[in-house]
Amino acid sequence: MTVTVNAIDPQIGAEVYRSVFFRGKAYRGRDAAELLLHNQLEGIWRIAERGVKVKVNSVLIPGVNDSHLIKVTEAVKAAGAFSHNIMPLILSPGSVYEKEGRKEPAPTLTLQVLAYSEAVMPVMRHCRQCRADAVGLIGDDLGVKTENAPAREYGPAAREQLLIRLDRTAAESKRREANAGEQGERGSIRIAVATRGGSQVNVHFGHAREFLVYEVSGQEQKLLGVRRIQAYCNGKAECGEADKEAILDETVALLQDCSIVLCAAIGPGPAERLASAGLTALARKGEIGKLMEQCAKYHRFFTSISCSPRLSADQRMDLHVQ
């Protein structure tokens, strides 16, 4: 079960929720937030006590709850939740937050908040912001497929075995990641991957609507999060060059902390724009893990070559181009 909790302090909650309707009565301001937050925590405790796994969703709102979400993590863990999914705010056109001039959180802020909360309990980094009524696997929504699409059914025993395997996998991943530390080992790089699922690099840069961002260090490959973007090539005739340039600028800004952008293909224009921002675009198709391992090796090699005092600046540039 998933429960959304954006604050545990009623004063902060009053900045998030305009009103709450409970048992036929409307509440506003601090009273509304206090009632809602009390019922959310009690609901988590009651359902978790019955053996149901509870994941908590929170929206990261800069200037409202960014420094407060660590307390939310601590509270929901104490109530019995097993995972915390912290999602960056997406401004809706015409919303109160947009009119107030609020901004969406920078990727660096999101990663910082995730790191703080992950020290308390497992956090979810692979969120695809699914619809509330989505059915199936993440990235593979069965609810939007035809009625003839095959569906998997799990009985109570099979479901319990699946959950045990998932718990073991998560615990093993956490032990491996602990060796690298929250900030990654020296020499680690961040790689943005364009994919439509299946653990494959299989999307053209211009068609990508999201990038998976990994931190790669040696044999460690840690998913930092999913970053949603507007597709550069959306196939609309009315999309002019100015619109494309604006979209490309937004994408570059969103991936600025990465070293490599890994995609199935990319045009020369976007590749040059990424390069001017210090991002290396690599067009490859195949399994994400293997390609990222290769990218990390190439990056370390070219970094060592570029730092060599025996080569001139022009020679180092020639190596990178080759």
Predicted local distance difference test score (pLDDT) of residue 308: 46
Give the C-alpha separation, 67 to 212, whole Å.
Answer: 25
- Choice between 115 and 163, residue whose per-residue pLDDT is larger: 115
Predicted local distance difference test score (pLDDT) of residue 231: 62
Predicted local distance difference test score (pLDDT) of residue 44: 96
Q: Is the pLDDT of residue 185 over 50?
A: no
DSSP string, 93-138: TT-HHHHTT--PPPHHHHHHHHHHHHTTS-B--------TT--EET
CB atoms within 10 A of CB 248: 20
Of the candidates 142, 144, 138, which has an alpha carbon nearest to the alpha carbon of residue 125?
Answer: 138
Sheet containing 2-4: order of strands: 2-4, 55-60, 83-88
Domain spanning 1-124: CATH superfamily? Aldolase class I (3.20.20.70)
Domain spanning 181-322: CATH superfamily? Dinitrogenase iron-molybdenum cofactor biosynthesis domain (3.30.420.130)
Q: Is the pLDDT of residue 234 over 80?
A: no
pLDDT tens by residue, 96-116: 888 888 888 888 898 899 989
Average pLDDT over residues 197-225: 86
The 3-state DSSP class for residue 195 equals coil
Predicted local distance difference test score (pLDDT) of residue 124: 85
Predicted local distance difference test score (pLDDT) of residue 5: 96
pLDDT tens by residue, 304-321: 554 444 444 444 444 444
Which residues lie below 8 Å from residue 7, measured CB to CB, with a gap of 6+? 13, 16, 33, 37, 65, 68, 72
Predicted local distance difference test score (pLDDT) of residue 161: 81
Predicted local distance difference test score (pLDDT) of residue 318: 44
Predicted local distance difference test score (pLDDT) of residue 313: 42
CB atoms within 10 A of CB 204: 17
Percentage of residues in the chain having pLDDT higher than 90 = 33
**Encoded amino acid at 17, one letter:** Y
Predicted local distance difference test score (pLDDT) of residue 90: 84
Highest mean pLDDT among 67-76, 87-96, 145-154: 67-76
pLDDT tens by residue, 25-55: 999 999 999 999 999 999 999 999 999 999 9
Predicted local distance difference test score (pLDDT) of residue 253: 86
- Choice between 126 and 301, residue whose per-residue pLDDT is larger: 126
Q: What is the pTM of this model?
A: 0.60
In this structure, the chain runs to a length of 322
Average pLDDT over residues 263-280: 88
User: Taking a C-beta distance cutoff of 8 angstroms, is the pair 69, 9 a contact?
Assistant: no
Predicted local distance difference test score (pLDDT) of residue 199: 82
- Choice between 131 and 59, residue whose per-residue pLDDT is larger: 59
Weakest mean pLDDT among 66-70, 88-92, 294-298? 294-298
pLDDT tens by residue, 137-159: 665 666 655 555 555 666 788 87
Runs of H (alpha helix) within the chain: 10-16, 29-49, 69-79, 96-99, 107-118, 156-180, 241-254, 268-276, 288-306, 313-321
Domain ranges of the chain: 1-124, 181-322
Average pLDDT over residues 17-28: 92
Average pLDDT over residues 156-184: 67
Q: Is the pLDDT of residue 228 over 90?
A: no
